[in-house]
Amino acid sequence: MLRSIEEGTDYANRYYLPLRQAIVDFCTGKGAGRTRIRQALRTRALSLGGSRGQRIARDNENAFDVFEAEFYPRIKKFRRSLLGERQQRCAFEGVMLVGTPHLIVTDLDDRERYVFLHASLWDDNDLKAYLELLSFIVEQRFGAGPEDLWCMNLKTAKDVKWRPSKLTRSRCAKAAKLYAQLLKAMEAQ
């Protein structure tokens, strides 16, 4: 079951990788080269999907268009990409969290922001838990607060309205502890 979850996570991560790479290229080039970047996005997406390639390409292109129209104008300066960086582990309730936002930018208010490009259809509770854990990583790794996490919903073209929650953090902590116990029990066998 754990292997199945990990394989599903890998697939989900690859599904929107062309999008994330295209957004980094677009921001790095300060919005120049859109046609070339969009074509590279399409080529990468088609290569992932076999029979599903057209759908993957369409989903990636649609999300890119939303980013370009709705979010890019609100970025004052692209700071750096976190894609492909060696990810440091953060200890959380007996498990090691691995992950990072996708980009670091400066917004129009001159605030440094840690961008999570959200393009998938997730349950609201799953997204809240993910953002809670991602804010923990941002705090531990970058010394920034949860308000510095910027979740861009590339399906709805809106910022995800999320605030840290003691209840959500507590639920994440309980789940992490149970997961750590499960791993320990499996290792003992």
Q: What does the pLDDT look like over 9-50, one tens digit per residue?
A: 555 678 999 999 999 999 999 999 999 999 999 999 999 877
Confidence of residue 87 (pLDDT cuts 50, 70, 90): confident
Q: What is the C-alpha separation between 92 and 133, in angstroms, rounded?
A: 9
Residue 149 burial (10 A CB sphere; 0-12, 13-18, 19+) = buried
Q: What is the C-alpha separation between 47 and 30, in angstroms, rounded?
A: 26
- 169 CB neighbour count, 10 Å cutoff: 17
- Proportion of the chain in helix, strand, coil states, percent, rounded to 5: 60, 20, 25
Q: Where are the domains of the chain?
A: 2-188
The dihedral formed by the CA atoms of 161, 164, 167 and 172, expressed in degrees to the nearest 10: 100
Q: Is 50 exceeded by the pLDDT of residue 6?
A: no
CB 118 within 8 A of CB 151: yes
Specify the pTM: 0.87
Q: What is the pLDDT of residue 9?
A: 53
Q: What is the C-alpha separation between 31 and 23, in angstroms, rounded?
A: 9
Q: What does the pLDDT look like over 89-133, one tens digit per residue?
A: 989 998 889 889 999 999 999 999 999 999 998 888 899 999 999
Helix axes 2-15, 17-28, angle to 10 degrees: 40
Mean pLDDT of the chain: 90
DSSP state of 86: P
* Helix (H) or strand (E) run with residue 113 in it: strand 112-118
Query: Average pLDDT of 130-151?
Result: 95
